[in-house]
Structure 1
Amino acid sequence: MKSFLQRFGSLVLGVLHGFDRLRLRGSKRLLCNPGGVFSFLAQVQVPLKEYKAYAKETTVALCKAIETEAQQAGLYHYLNNSQESKEETALRLAAEHGRQQGLIAVLGCVEPCQVVQVRGNRETKKLEVRIEPSKCLHYYHYYLDADYGLRYTRLQSWFPFTMHVGLNGRDWLARQMTKAGVDYRQKDNCFTWVEDWEAAQRLLDEQLTTDWASLLDGWAAESHPWLSRLVVPPVPYYWSVQEGEYATDIAFRTPEDLRRLYPRLVQYTTGPLQSTDVLRFFGYRVTKSGAPRRDLAGEVVTTIKELVEGTCVKHRVLQNGLKMYDKFGQVLRLENLLINVRDFKVFRMREGNTDGPMEYLRLRKGVADMHRRAEVGAKINERYAAALATVEDATPLGELARDLGQPTTWKGRSVRALNPLAPADVELLEAINRGEFLLNGFRNRDLRALLFADAASASPEEAKRQSGKVTRLLRLLRAHGVITKVSKTHRYQVSAEGRSKVTALLAARQASTEQLLKAA
């Protein structure tokens, strides 16, 4: 984000980054696997042959309890079409009945789900527990919460009684800012203006310190107080993140500023941006040659859609998504949604070992890793923004490359010119422009591994010679202002000006003669 603001900071009002839409899943883990269900049925002394009658009796009692109370309060509404917007229906019912706070609607709808069934096995001639896809009635409880805004719970009415909770992080932030006395202007789920952006960000960060398990248990009990009495002994919910959209909103001063910039961003993300760049944004490793790993079982897909909010560019890889769109012509939103988190590592203790050492372990879906998920999402958006910072420059290419093509001096010593057409200099520029160097920069040995094929197996004398050559190349790049040294480290980063020049030169090398003539 730093490089993006260095480039376009004069056009930007403020930046907010945090969770947007959250969909959290409550699973009764004992009832989500055949062995656990068998153990539960043994505890309640229900034979497998009587499971269906027992489950049906429990479901009927649950549905009666929910519908009776909701109908008496005038809140219940059954939806014949599962594709109908539940949120819009709930808000419409709230407006019709003048409800402005608390429970505003209870909706019933038949939807697909995973259920527990007991089936006969033809081979063993025995009954067995199975988890299989089916459909059943689901109940949505919608609330207008004074602290969290619009939220809902969704309960599956058949075993294993899975629950989902949905809320909007930006709606939650709006309530926080109102209480804190921070003025703002909001459109849908983004803010076009905030009186104090830093204060708003601090409030947004407070969401990550929430005791999510206790909060969600309280909401579950509020919506369905009968569940603990119907399923005896009570089985607690394990809460995980089903969908968590992490969004970075960059609010521009005027719609005209974003309108001029956005077409170039779209052109860049669907043209020069390569699939391996998208992999690096997500943090997936690639080979030294820049190719994806062979064990990466997936593909990168980029699509463009015209939405009500604006033009949306979406990159998708391994069920995970990264989006960019211009919301209402004034907010540039970068948003990622992580579904498959198996490849992401975070710094934490092992589960169940609170006294153990911290180490890099797999990111969990549970709410215990909510703040770590936010860190991963923030880094993805930062890498994406850093790449976007290299576009939108109306300066002619000749003017950009003019200084690079002239000899200069560095600390009193003459330094040669850079030749963007020479293979050796092109290889150097491509190396420093790699996506994995966007955040943490690069070292001498990082470039040596890229510029010399035998770097890994080189003798000590040859390694010293290669390191010396890379040192001279770094001096060359620093003299031309292409890179800067990170203070108190051995790392270097491409400067904002250098990024513009390098990206433009490399893009020009890939352009056809016809494209160059059209540009002229």
Structure 2
Amino acid sequence: MKFAQSFVTKFASAIVAVYSCFDRVIFKGYLPFGGEQHLNDFVDKYLGIRRVDFIELLRNNSNQLIEHAKSLAAKHGRPYRHIQGKKQRYIDELIREDRISEGLIAVLCVQETCRTVKLKAAKTRPRLVFAKRPQRVLYFYWLDPSFGRIHVRLQTWFPYTIQVYVNGHEWLARQMERAGLRFVKRDNAFLELEDPQRVQRMADRFIRRNWVKQLNRWARQVHPLLGGTGPFARYNYYWVTEQAEYATDILFESPRALRELYPRLLDYAAVNFSANDILTFLGRKLNGNFAGEVLTTLQKKRWPGARIKHRMKENWLKMYDKFGLILRVETVINQPHEFRVSRWDPKRQQVSWVPMNKGVVNLPSYQRVSRAANERYLQALAAVDDPTLAYQHASELARRKVSRGRSYAGFNPACRDDVRLFQAVLSGDHLLRGFRNADIRRLLFGEAKDRDQRRRLANRVTRLLKRLHVRGLIAKIPRTRRWRPTAKGQRLLGTIIRLHYHGLSNAA
């Protein structure tokens, strides 16, 4: 498979399959009542009732939704239950004890604080305003024949916001069952796949579904107020993607193979990936227009395994292991407007780059952005390698090197300044695009105060790069002024950096 080719090629002997698909996806539906003035006009002019009577109408509607939920549960012979907390555990127990393979699992009623409306005193007459208040919220859990385990969350008070949870791995499992493909699934991951390339083609069809039609079908099952002759019958939900997780799973041949590699991947990512690298992986640039935090957290004591998480505002890149056999790199998008996508502008009659929005029709853009981020991340991690050979050649760095009659000084693997140079060369952005003298100069010395200092620092960096070049650690990109780390450089310099942060620094 071409995806993440550099990483997969490097560790090909230990990898048995690679595939990418959506994991958790949360859709939300909103009725078109954007502002308070619109709401008050709707009650005054369209419904033609007093605003206080509208509150009573909502109370009756809430009871109607509750009764519908109870009837739906009774029709399917499934429980309707009031519960606070531990919903997933209860549903898991029902599936296991009742051996449910398809259909409604249960309907749960939970007290939650959500956005709704209330009457607020005003000078002339009470006014309807939006406010957060406790209300009953319904959770409908299904084992859908096409999507596997899903749930629908419905607020029983206006504006009846609805949320639908689906899982791409659950959906993909159902597609493989229909196609007769063998697989072993555990939780939201596949431990074995019969035909990974065919599975990838299936996974790519997730975005091609008519999601608006599908989501409306689920909404009508739980929300009887949308049909008939009631005041909300003429309204339809506007659907958005509230959160989307897109995962790239790399299946290893044995737990031992992943166990030996995974700690080095974690250490490399924690030590080498800067804020600028994280933005690059996510398709952004660190400049004056970016206002926000870029954070990396490494949790080595997390159960069931260690995880590294890079956060750009409310969007994340994560890497963790699943069940000791799968390396998962996952992009989570909560704020799509941080990414730009191409779109036809009818006014300008040209394609423009615009912020991505949450509309469900943009789900293909979610996949494209997330898949590219996962691939860049894995490509940068390809610099990690089995350190055995690098240990053997580390002494080369300390010795002088003679090339074409000239002698070039060695490097000290325990020297902090030399390690900073190695880190600059192996920056994630440089692994992807290469680097120039000016890029290394800024990372090592910052911005020059004047032209003379810039010239002196540029000459100094030129000498440093030459010392790396004669040792075969970097190479010139043809017909450019850019350099790139060689495979040997990635292996050797990456190992030295790791050694430095695990004890060698004390020897400097």
Q: TM-score range by the shorter chain?
A: 0.7 to 0.9
CA gap of 1:218–1:426, structure 2 versus 1, over 3 A, is same
d(CA) in 2 for partners of 1:488, 1:127: 73
The match for 1:105 is 106
Contact 1:23 1:167 in 2 (8 A): yes
For 1:229-283, what per-residue CA distance to the aligned partner results, in whole angstroms no more than 9, with x for missing partners?
3443422111111121111111100111111222333333444544554444334
The answer to whether the 8 Å contact 1:6/1:496 transfers is no
8 Å CA contact 1:401–1:501 kept in 2: the answer is: no
Correspondence 1:318 to 2:313: yes
Whether 1:503 aligns to 2:474 is: no
Distance 2:50 2:63 in 1: 20
Shift of 1:173: 0.9
Residues 1:64 and 2:67 are matched in the alignment: yes
Count of residues in Structure 1 that have an aligned counterpart in Structure 2: 499
Amino acid at match of 1:221: R
Displacement of 1:307 after TM fit? 5.2
Task: State how 1:263-302 maps to structure 2 within 5 Å.
Answer: 263-286=263-286, 296-298=291-293, 300-302=295-297
Report the counterpart of residue 46 of structure 1 in structure 2: 49
* Rounded Cα–Cα distance in structure 2 between residues aligned with 1:194 and 1:416: 55
* Aligned counterpart in structure 1 of residue 364 of structure 2, from 371, 374, 378: 371
**Contact 1:62–1:227 (Cα < 8 Å) also in 2:** no
CA contact under 8 A between 2:76 and 2:104: conserved in structure 1? Answer: no
Residues in 1 aligned to 2:40 and 2:253: alpha-carbon distance in whole angstroms: 61
1:241 maps to 241
Q: Name 1:34's counterpart in structure 2.
A: 36
Where does the alignment leave 5 or more consecutive residues of structure 1 unmatched?
Answer: 288-292
Query: Which secondary structure does the structure 1 equivalent of 2:286 belong to?
Result: coil
Task: Report the AA paired with residue 296 of structure 1.
Answer: A
Residues 1:437 and 2:430 are matched in the alignment? yes
Who is 1:21 aligned against? 24
Specify the alignment match of 2:221 in structure 1: 222
Deviation of 1:207 (Å): 0.8
SS in 1 for 2:244: strand
* 1:420 matched to 2:407: no
- Give the secondary structure class of the aligned counterpart of 2:383: coil
Letter in 2 for 1:14: A
Residue 455 of structure 1 deviates from its aligned partner by: 9.7
Alpha-carbon spacing, 1:342–1:301, altered in 2? closer, same or farther (3 Å): same
Question: Are 2:357 and 1:384 aligned?
Answer: no
The question of whether the paired residues in 2 share the 8 Å contact of 1:25 and 1:164 is answered with: yes
The aligned runs of 1:318-357 (5 Å cut-off) are 318-350=313-345, 353=346, 356-357=349-350
1:201-220 equivalent positions in 2, closer than 5 A: 201-220=200-219
The answer to whether residue 176 in structure 2 is matched with residue 177 in structure 1 is yes
Q: Does the CA contact (< 8 Å) of 1:445 and 1:467 recur in 2?
A: yes
1:71-119 per-position Cα deviation (integer Å, ceiling 9, x unaligned):
34322421331x1224x43354355555432333222222232112231
Q: CA deviation at 1:159?
A: 0.4
Q: Give the drift of 1:310.
A: 2.6
Deviation string, structure 1 residues 338-395 (Cα, Å, up to 9, x no partner): 2233322122235xx4994222111111212111112222232223323433335234
- CA shift, 1:147, in A, is 1.7
Q: Deviations over 1:371-420 (max 9, x none)?
A: 111222223222332343333523454614627956577xxx77865743
Q: State the match for 1:3 in structure 2.
A: 6
TM-score (norm 1): 0.82
Identity in percent: 30
Sort the Cα spacing of 1:416 and 1:363 in 2 relative to 1 into closer, same or farther, 3 A. Answer: farther
How far is the alpha carbon of 1:130 from its aligned partner? 2.1
CA distance in 2: counterparts of 1:312 and 1:266, whole angstroms? 8
User: What is the alpha-carbon distance in structure 2 between the residues aligned to residue 305 and residue 119 of structure 1?
Assistant: 51
Deviation of residue 189 (structure 1)?
0.9
CA shift at 1:176, angstroms?
1.2
Question: What code does the residue aligned with 1:107 have?
Answer: L
Q: Distance between the aligned counterparts of 2:21 and 2:172, measured in 1?
A: 10
SS at match of 2:56: helix
Structure 1 residue 190 displacement after superposition: 0.7
Counterpart residue type for residue 245 of structure 2 = E
Q: Which moved more, 1:174-183 or 1:124-133?
A: 124-133
**Counterpart amino acid of residue 101 in structure 1:** E
1:9 & 1:272 partners in 2: Cα distance? 23
Contact map agreement 1:65 1:226 (CA 8 A) in 2: no
2-structure distance, mates of 1:357, 1:162: 36
Cα distance change of structure 1 residues 343 and 486 upon mapping to structure 2, 3 Å threshold: same
| More deviation, 137-146/503-512 | 503-512
* Cα shift readout 1:264-323 (whole Å, capped 9, x = no counterpart): 333334445445544443344336xxxxx6953335151416555433333334223332
Of 368, 375, 399, the match for 2:393: 399
Matching residue's letter, 2:29: G
User: Which residue identity does 1:130 align to in structure 2?
Assistant: V
Residues 180, 516 of structure 1: CA spacing in aligned structure 2 closer, same or farther, 3 A cutoff? farther
Do the aligned residues in 2 keep the contact of 1:27 with 1:163 (CA within 8 Å)? yes
Distance (whole Å) between structure 2 residues aligned to residue 151 and residue 454 of structure 1:
53
Q: Secondary structure at the match of 2:293?
A: coil
Which letter does structure 2 place at the counterpart of 1:110? Q
Distance 2:391 2:507 in 1: 11
Distance 1:311 1:175 in 2: 30
User: Does residue 1:360 correspond to 2:353, yes or no?
Assistant: yes
- Is 2:91 the partner of 1:90? yes
| Cα gap change, 1:427 to 1:311, in 2 (>3 Å) | closer
User: Are 1:304 and 2:320 counterparts?
Assistant: no
Task: Sort the Cα spacing of 1:486 and 1:364 in 2 relative to 1 into closer, same or farther, 3 A.
Answer: farther
CA distance in 2, matches of 1:466, 1:368: 51
Could you say what secondary structure the match of 1:112 adopts?
Answer: strand
Report the equivalent of 1:290: none
Tell me whether 192-201 or 273-282 shows the greater mean CA deviation: 273-282
Larger deviation: 307-316 or 196-205? 307-316
2:74 is equivalent to residue 75 of structure 1:
no
Partner residue of 2:187? 188
Residue 19 (structure 1) shift:
0.9
Aligned amino acid, residue 134 of structure 2 = K
Aligned-pair distance for 1:160? 0.5
Write the distance in 2 (CA, Å) between the matches of 1:395 and 1:311.
Answer: 26
The answer to whether the 8 Å contact 1:321/1:337 transfers is yes
Shift of 1:156: 0.8
* Counterpart-to-counterpart distance in 2, 1:317 and 1:451: 24
Kept in 1, the 8 Å contact 2:321–2:328? The answer is yes
Output the CA distance in 2 between the equivalents of 1:338 and 1:508. Answer: 35
Say if 1:303 and 1:313, in contact at 8 Å, map to a contact too: yes
2:272 touches 2:426 (CA, 8 Å); kept in 1? no
CA positional deviation for 1:326:
1.5
